[in-house]
Amino acid sequence: MNFPADFPITTRWPAQNPDVIQLYSFPTPNGVKVSIALEELGLPYEPHRISLSGDVTTPEFLSLNPNNKIPAIIDPNGPGGAPLALFESGAILIYLAEKAGKLLGTTPADRYHAIQWVMFQMGGVGPMFGQLGYFAKFGGAAIEDPRPRDRYVAEAIRLLRVVDQALDGRDWMIGEFSIADIALAPWLNGLDFYGVKPLVGWDDLKNVPDYVARFYARPAVAKAKDIPQAD
């Protein structure tokens, strides 16, 4: 395929610089994973704002991600020099880290440990925290039966304890900063947006609060956390 001619998404969101990575996203915990990774890795990119209410269901966006979720990317210079379209934030993080040769640790074991924590976030933290947000802040909050919310509160507490224990004696999930932190920290920070920190015992955690603060103090994170801009 040729970029941009063979990619229908560019008819709605044209590439101003077709030589750089195109990011289609919105600043949610999943969305900012990729903008943060791009900034931390120093890879040139062009962001396109994709609204969650309408844009994700357009034919143009679905041509890139049939699962109608952000984020997604097109790398005009993918493997072998051919364009690569990719969705699923965890897969994108691994791809970008491998492309740049950074943020996957310094040993083969580090690499697998970083990927382990990315999978932990994708399979546990993201889905469970998202459901907790739904039942605590959004439509599910109107449900009188407390059991749905209590289920996700309990699971969030369990997952937070796993992370808190893993951080004991270290600043980052695998010892050095990696895509594991880029995957996890935005979701941990999202508990504030959901208004559930008291429910999950945030102030009782030994390591997680300082970890999140440390993450957001990084210059690349401070820049990328609002990319693409929500307004």
Could you read off the pLDDT of 111-155 as tens digits, one per residue? Answer: 999 999 999 999 999 999 999 999 999 999 889 999 999 999 999
Instruction: Band the pLDDT of 90: cuts 50, 70, 90.
Output: very high
pLDDT for 135 equals 95
Estimate to the nearest angstrom the gap between the alpha carbon of 169 and the chain centroid.
25
Predicted confidence (pLDDT) at residue 62 exceeds the cutoff of 70: yes
pLDDT for 23 equals 98
pLDDT for 230 equals 67
Could you read off the pLDDT of 92-113 as tens digits, one per residue? Answer: 999 999 999 999 999 999 999 9
The model's pTM = 0.96
Instruction: Band the pLDDT of 33: cuts 50, 70, 90.
Output: very high
Could you read off the pLDDT of 178-227 as tens digits, one per residue? Answer: 999 999 999 999 999 999 999 999 999 999 999 999 999 999 999 999 99
Q: What's the chain look like in SS3?
A: CCCCCCCCHHHHCCCCCCCCEEEEECCCHHHHHHHHHHHHHCCCEEEEECCCCCHHHCHHHHCCCCCCCCCEEEECCCHHHCCEEEECHHHHHHHHHHHHCCCCCCCHHHHHHHHHHHHHHHHHHHHHHHHHHHHHCCHHHHCCCCHHHHHHHHHHHHHHHHHHHHCCCCCCCCCCCCHHHHHHHHHHHHHHHHCCCCCCCHHHCCCHHHHHHHHHCCHHHHHHCCCCCCC
Question: Which residue segments constitute the domains of the chain, with CATH numbers given?
Answer: 9-102 (3.40.30.10), 108-218 (1.20.1050.10)
pLDDT for 105 equals 97
